[in-house]
Copies of this chain bind each other. A is one copy, B any other.
Amino acid sequence: MEFPPLSTSFTISLPAWIRDELADVPDVIPSRDERMALVNRLADRNWREGNGGPFAALVAETATGRIVSVGVNVVLATNISSGHAEVTALGMAQARLRAWDLGREGAPELELMVNWRPCVQCYGAAMWSGIRTLVIAGSGPELEELTTFDEGPMIAEWAEAFEARGIRVVQDVRRDEAIDVFRAYRDAVIDGAVVVYNARSGD
């Protein structure tokens, strides 16, 4: 086989507007609530910029609120379907720290913050990343109802399975604000203003 045409690498990149959006944001945001406000803001801008779905995430030090990485859904921008916000934020943190285990001994405890319960892919991605806490704006049917995104087949006891692996789950941080983002996205979809990408639906 020849390289190319076979690919030997692919890159997940943040969009250029992230730099502007974060220019005046401090490196440390001690309040979890304020950190989630940033996540919701990035999620809202992300779909409006045509970059991907209305999703954002960040990795922060739990004790201090220092921001280690940010991520947004970059599926449309990169053509990489695994480039959800969680995979992006976790990968950026691992690239920065040069460590595949974000929960390694002796390092500050890290948490992943996302603007909704992860889909089944990102459920696993969070589980294998070493993060010690998952903080989500919310969970429940609102996301799928509003956005039509398929979260995939999750076990009913998904949060308990995190806890059993030593990963705390914190829910309902700025939930209403997260739903407002999804609602705005839904309205744009109805207007035909954005591309909805999703799994194939068995057509």
Q: Name the B residues within 8 Å of A202 (CB-CB).
A: 164-166
Cross-chain contact of A166 among B99, B101, B200 (Cβ < 8 A): B200
Asked if residues B96 and A5 are in contact (CB atoms below 8 Å), the reply is yes
Asked if residues B153 and A158 are in contact (CB atoms below 8 Å), the reply is yes
Asked if residues A81 and B67 are in contact (CB atoms below 8 Å), the reply is no
* A139 interfacial by beta-carbon distance below 8 Å: no
Asked if residues A82 and B92 are in contact (CB atoms below 8 Å), the reply is no
**Which A1-57 residues have a C-beta within 8 angstroms of B?**
1-14, 18-19, 22-23, 25-27
Interchain CA distance A203-B165 in the complex, whole Å: 8
Among A125-133, A140-148, A170-178, A185-193, the stretch that binds chain B is: A125-133
Asked if residues A127 and B152 are in contact (CB atoms below 8 Å), the reply is yes
Known: A79-B97, A128-B198. 16 other contacts (CB 8 A): A7-B96, A10-B11, A11-B11, A75-B100, A79-B100, A80-B95, A80-B100, A81-B100, A82-B82, A119-B128, A121-B123, A121-B124, A127-B152, A152-B161, A165-B202, A166-B203
List 6 contacting pairs A-B, 8 Å CB cutoff, sorted by A.
Answer: A2-B27, A10-B95, A81-B130, A127-B199, A153-B155, A165-B200
